Amino acid sequence: MGCQQPQRTLAQELTWREETVNQELTRAVEGLMPQALDDLAALVAMRSVADERVEDPEELAKAARWVVNACDELGFASRLAPTPDGTDTVIAHYEGPKGTPKVLLYSHYDVQPAPTRGWETDPWVLSQKGDRFYGRGAADCKGNIVAHLTALRALRQTQGSYPCSITMVVEGSEEQGTAGLERYVEANPEEFSADVMIIGDVGNIDVGIPTLTVALRGMVSLIVTVSTTATQLHSGAFGGAVPDAATALISILASMHDDRGNVTIDGLDNAATWMGGAYEESRFVRDAGLLDGVERIGSGTVADQLWARPALTVIGVDLPGVEGAVPALQPSARAQISLRIPPGVDPEHARSVLVDHVRNAAPWGVQVECEPAGMGSPYAANTDSHAFRVLQQAMEDAFGHPAQTSGQGGSIPLTAALFQAHPDAEIVMIGVADPACRMHAENESVHPGEIQGMALAEALFLQNLHKR
């Protein structure tokens, strides 16, 4: 007479089923990785820069249509929503079972320009070198689009459908800071209604270490123009008595930092401290690729400087080039400056005090014009929420490593706009970037393991979100 197997308790049965689903999703995501890399290659090949002065606008439109088609194939009702800045946002919706949570998945299909100088591969061709894949947008942010799609494919493949209502939002002008989607959200908040919003535009503190981003810096950008004379003047005949616009501009820009590199804008706190996880100094120096002898700036810790304090960068200058330069005083000079602000700082206030500083720092009575060039609010996540805890567990299960928290020095202005439109929504931030990805720079890349891990984490999160 055979031995009768003991029956599982209800709790044991539920645990067994959950483990089975997790294993099925793990295998599904792994099997979908070749398609994910094919998708990434197709997206990288589209030169989707939201600036017609840099790339053909048809490339941007092509990328938008590609995302629409991908969402349609997954059973979503998809459309292109024109935004006030002239770009299109993909909005795709799936209506899940009644009573289940509503989840919004965000990313963007536009990218930064990619001048070929400095690139070791063609920026518009996905190229593998070692264990990474190179190409503009591979990490920021087309890799995140692919992670979203892979997660959804895995759920559909293993479950036959999706466990909740899902809205995919993929915009086309995030990198330009023109606030097209933010203004669209303000005018059409009902289209973005959700219980939980996953912002797929950040990354892990290192490859294989799952990281939830809990703070985003906001951004204020200005174009500063200094004018002195009607025309160029001979530097021998007039130099020493007539102010040079280039020199005046340099003086203004130099006044924005002290000797340690701290921002010195009256009205902005340059001594705040970061209360979350640390960023080890030696790892930061390695991640940043500082040259021998180059010092890390700021008087606080790395985390303080990146996530709790303002940062000011000169991101563009209009001056005569060295090649072909003539001995003349410049009648005008122009620079674009970008000020990153931590959570708790109002961007309108930041812009006001920045403009005041520029004008007060202008020497010799030179004329100064300050033109707004972009603005976004900072954001701090609620870490004491059901969605945060579920995502944290999903990340740990997907990567096999305890989850970490960090801030994000970059800005995602849409996050604050979504929060203002739906203050009761739980917003969490993840992504496929890592310190070696070189987003916005030459030789941008992504580690395929980050796409696979994020896709699995997101699939597990969507599967388990409804459980309390």
The residues assigned a catalytic role are 110, 174
Q: How far apart are CA 461 and CA 49, in angstroms?
A: 32
From the number of C-beta atoms within 10 Å of its C-beta (0-12, 13-18, 19+), residue 100 rates as middle
Mapped onto helix, strand or coil, the DSSP state of residue 396 is helix
Residues 6+ apart with CB under 8 A from 382: 388, 426, 427
DSSP string of 355-372, one letter each residue: HHHHHHH--TT-EEEEEE
Q: How many helices (H) does the chain have, and how many strands (E)?
A: 12, 18
**Please, are residues 135 and 116 in contact by the beta-carbon 8 Å criterion?**
no
Instruction: Phi first, then psi: give them for residue 187, nearest 5 degrees.
Output: -85, -25
Which residues on adjacent β-strands are paired with residue 18?
none
**Please, are residues 213 and 430 in contact by the beta-carbon 8 Å criterion?**
yes
Task: For residue 460, give the amino acid letter.
Answer: L
Strands (E), 294-449: 311-318, 328-329, 332-341, 367-376, 379-380, 404-408, 426-430, 445-446
Q: How far apart are CA 153 and CA 168, in angstroms?
A: 14
Q: How far apart are CA 461 and CA 95, in angstroms?
A: 17
**Please, are residues 321 and 298 in contact by the beta-carbon 8 Å criterion?**
no
Task: For residue 269, give the amino acid letter.
Answer: D
**Please, are residues 381 and 388 in contact by the beta-carbon 8 Å criterion?**
yes
